[in-house]
């Protein structure tokens, strides 16, 4: 039986591709292929000599991308997480690229497919892996993790103030029977969260936290940002779309540090004009979805895109 088909509205589609300032003969990287919305628009702006490399961990996204790769020789698909960017570009013989795009977080098809276990809206196996071909499921991790580790994950990645109580409840419950489904976890969390923001399900923060941990989302983001920036040719663009504060904070701090003057000892007397040029410069203000886009796709409400451009300045260790 074939997998169900779920629609996906690409967030900040035209804005993100415009941010890359695509050159027809350029080489670009889409770190998060998804269902190919950004990739297809980039390809439409490339000429015969242009090239696009896309990454994704999700086998279902890879199946979509393989069909595109079979149709378009300018397109190369890599079934890996984007933290392998430098290694895979080396393997492909690509030294420099003209733009890198990242659309972070979980995609609509992943959320809407009950089988994936990302959403508390459905009763399904508690999986949450973006790459279903490898790694521990959420259920497997919750069955064995120490209570303090569960608490720390929920507190840090979910910014959940009831993390201690939720972790204790999870450990107590698994002594009776394992947590195997999304509904079981959502009900358990709901019983241990006293208050929540209007319109937000009590399980929202816990599900977010466990998903981020299982997929190593923040670690991968921290690993890929310097790789992507160092691979950019002069004038090349880095555009990153984030959906929650933890991601955006990492991106904002990285771009700020890499676009700031080098930190010198206080006793060094150097004129500002003589300081080495930073390796990046930020481009414009953060971009958010328009009112019309939010109306048509409510999930775009939290999206924020930051853009930086590679300068002629040498890369420095402190920017990593």
**Residues of the binding site for S-adenosyl-L-methionine:** 36-38, 56, 82, 103, 110
**Residues of the binding site:** 36-38, 56, 82, 103, 110
Chain Cα centroid distance, residue 180: 26
DSSP result, the chain: -PPPP-----TTHHHHHHHTT--TT-EEEES--TTSHHHHHHHHH--TT-EEEEE---HHHHHHHHHHHHH-TTEEEE-S-GGGHHHHHHHTT---EEEEEEE-S--HHHHH-GGG---TTS--BS---SSTTSS--HHHHHHHS-HHHHHHHHHHHH--TTHHHHHHHHHHHHHHS---BHHHHHHHHHTT-----TT--TTHHHHHHHHHHHTTHHHHHHHHHHHHHHHEEEEEEEEEEE-SHHHHHHHHHHHHHHTSPPP--TT----GGGSPPPSEEE-SS-EE--HHHHHH-GGGGG-EEEEEEE-SSPP-GGG-
- Return d(Cα 78, Cα 189) in angstroms, integer: 37
């Amino acid at each position: 039986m074939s997998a169900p088909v779920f629609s996906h509205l690409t967030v900040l589609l035209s804005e993100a591709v415009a941010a890359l300032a695509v050159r027809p003969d350029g080489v670009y990287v889409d770190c998060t292929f998804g269902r190919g919305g950004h990739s297809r628009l980039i390809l439409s702006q490339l000429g015969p000599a242009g090239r696009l490399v896309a990454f994704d961990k999700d086998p279902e996204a890879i199946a979509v991308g393989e069909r595109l790769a079979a149709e378009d020789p300018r397109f190369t698909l890599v079934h890996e997480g984007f933290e392998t960017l430098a290694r895979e570009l080396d393997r492909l013989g690509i030294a420099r690229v003209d733009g890198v795009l990242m659309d972070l977080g979980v995609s609509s098809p992943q959320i809407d497919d009950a089988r994936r276990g990302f959403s508390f809206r459905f009763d399904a196996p508690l999986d949450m892996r973006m790459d279903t071909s490898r790694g521990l499921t959420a259920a497997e991790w919750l069955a064995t993790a120490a209570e303090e580790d569960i608490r720390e994950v929920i507190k840090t990645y979910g910014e959940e103030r009831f993390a201690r109580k939720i972790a204790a409840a999870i450990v107590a419950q698994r002594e009776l029977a394992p947590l195997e489904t999304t509904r079981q976890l959502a009900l358990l969390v709901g019983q241990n969260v006293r208050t929540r923001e209007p319109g937000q399900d009590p399980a929202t923060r816990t599900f977010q936290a466990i998903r981020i941990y299982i997929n190593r989302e923040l670690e991968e983001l921290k690993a890929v940002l310097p790789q992507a920036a160092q691979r950019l040719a002069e004038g090349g663009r880095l555009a990153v779309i984030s959906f929650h504060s933890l991601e955006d904070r990492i991106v904002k701090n990285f771009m700020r540090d890499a676009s700031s003057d080098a930190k010198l000892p206080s006793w060094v007397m150097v004129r500002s004009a003589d300081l080495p040029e930073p390796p990046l410069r930020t481009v414009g203000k953060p971009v958010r979805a328009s009112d019309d886009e939010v109306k048509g796709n409510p999930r775009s409400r939290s999206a924020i895109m930051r853009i930086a451009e590679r300068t002629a300045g040498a890369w420095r260790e402190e920017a990593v």
